[in-house]
Structure 1
């Protein structure tokens, strides 16, 4: 019985690209038995030696995506010694790109995996911000990197989303004098809590516009100066009790406030950006 042809796929990352290319090539052959064996995260010569000691006994070839020159050269020399054909998928593309862009590639293993991890971390943070927006689920307070506290219209939601795009998990909690704050805010590090406050005149303008947008009268209690002052006094008293940092967002764009918060997090060892 004829032995299978084995395609060894070696990569300094997960090896998915090399395996897909190998399978695409194999699909062009109608006869014979073929097998792919993937070896990801190749980081040293010893791993290559072990793989080739196995491969030299097989009817095989090697497809690889190694970007580190030393490993690539070692593999080529060793495979040549055993008369094993090799296909380098990365070098021709890197060389062509180098001619176009005019500078050397980084030759750093696993870059695409790191980019993917960063992307998925951002997606996770955005989903977190949506799930724990406006105090909908107070369980998020203990899971969050940052907790935003503030009365209505102090930019809690847009700030949460902006910070989520910086890979931070943010929960935000609305403060209303008539509703006790959730117990969870007293159980987390106060340095993870950011209080948001604003000038009552500015809040009055914002709330009146909000009511108009909703088709409601701008004379509602929600937008009255007396009500707003009472809410601010209540929220600032609670923030003082918590001992958390407080930011006045009256004349700040969301990006500016977010920049202040990001700077604060860089000095807090309990928060990883």
Structure 2
């Protein structure tokens, strides 16, 4: 019977970083090695019990600690119990600290929080795509953090995507005179809907450029002043019925408009920043 080999993966957080590094290293060997994982180790007594267990099994300890009180005890425990231990994060943190001349935060779990933020952003992006431009409109309105309404080419989609990267789930509804407005739009609470407007001249310019890019005649109804004024009058009526605040996006960058939307929504919801 062969010798049982074991690596203890120990962390003051979840330990995903250490686990991945150990797994990556083990792929370079044929030997069978088991891994025992110990997460959220935050006090000396807990750490010492793990070290004692590792000593009995002849295990290696691979650790990622950022809590200073644990780091200062590692060498003492290693020598006291004659255990092989490897620090997977401190050497890199030390180099970074020396380079940027800044002390580390010493907060366990920050990588996990970053991962959670990433997945929340991706969820919001998927939501924006799913409920873009009146797709499954009733469902989108009910689930959205925010609903953007306006006539065609008022930056609803780019704003939805930009806000999604700030973890806002945004649905957008185009206002077209020939298409009935979803009833659920009129039931939204304060701060859940924003109306987007644009100057007629700017909207005509944008629509004309759009028509040309699609190879369609720029003289069509879509880009005519008569049609634009009809749509904008209709949109203004709907926005007043909904009771939502409006933002004129004329000559505003998407980023600027998005920040203004967030500020406006927070004011509407009574949130002080």
Q: Same fold (TM over 0.5)?
A: yes
1:86 maps to what in 2? 85
Is the CA contact (8 Å cut-off) linking 1:3 and 1:59 kept in structure 2? Answer: no
2:117 maps to what in 1? 118
Q: 1:90-113: CA deviations, max 9, x gaps?
A: 222222333333332222222222
Q: 1:164-212: CA deviations, max 9, x gaps?
A: 2222111111011111111231233241101011222322222222222
Question: 1:1-273 alignment to 2 at 5 Å?
Answer: 4-25=4-25, 34-52=33-51, 54-138=53-137, 139-267=139-267
RMSD: 2.6
Tell me the SS of whatever aligns to 2:59: strand
C-alpha distance in structure 1 between counterparts of 2:208 and 2:33, whole Å: 71
Is the CA contact (8 Å cut-off) linking 1:196 and 1:246 kept in structure 2? Answer: yes
Aligned residues: 270
Cα displacement (A) at 1:143: 1.5
Tell me the SS of whatever aligns to 1:172: strand
Tell me the SS of whatever aligns to 1:8: strand
Cα displacement (A) at 1:24: 5.0
Q: 1:127-162: CA deviations, max 9, x gaps?
A: 221111101121121221111000111111111122
Gaps of 5+ in 2: none
C-alpha distance in structure 1 between counterparts of 2:120 and 2:183, whole Å: 28
TM-score (normalizing by structure 2):
0.86
Moved more, 16-25 or 174-183: 16-25
Tell me the SS of whatever aligns to 2:195: strand
Is the CA contact (8 Å cut-off) linking 2:199 and 2:250 kept in structure 1? Answer: yes
C-alpha distance in structure 1 between counterparts of 2:95 and 2:221, whole Å: 67
Is the CA contact (8 Å cut-off) linking 1:9 and 1:62 kept in structure 2? Answer: yes
Cα displacement (A) at 1:19: 2.7
TM-score (normalizing by structure 1):
0.86
Is the CA contact (8 Å cut-off) linking 1:191 and 1:268 kept in structure 2? Answer: yes
Moved more, 81-90 or 171-180: 81-90
C-alpha distance in structure 1 between counterparts of 2:235 and 2:210, whole Å: 21
Cα displacement (A) at 1:27: 5.8
Tell me the SS of whatever aligns to 1:173: strand
Cα displacement (A) at 1:65: 0.6
Tell me the SS of whatever aligns to 1:62: strand
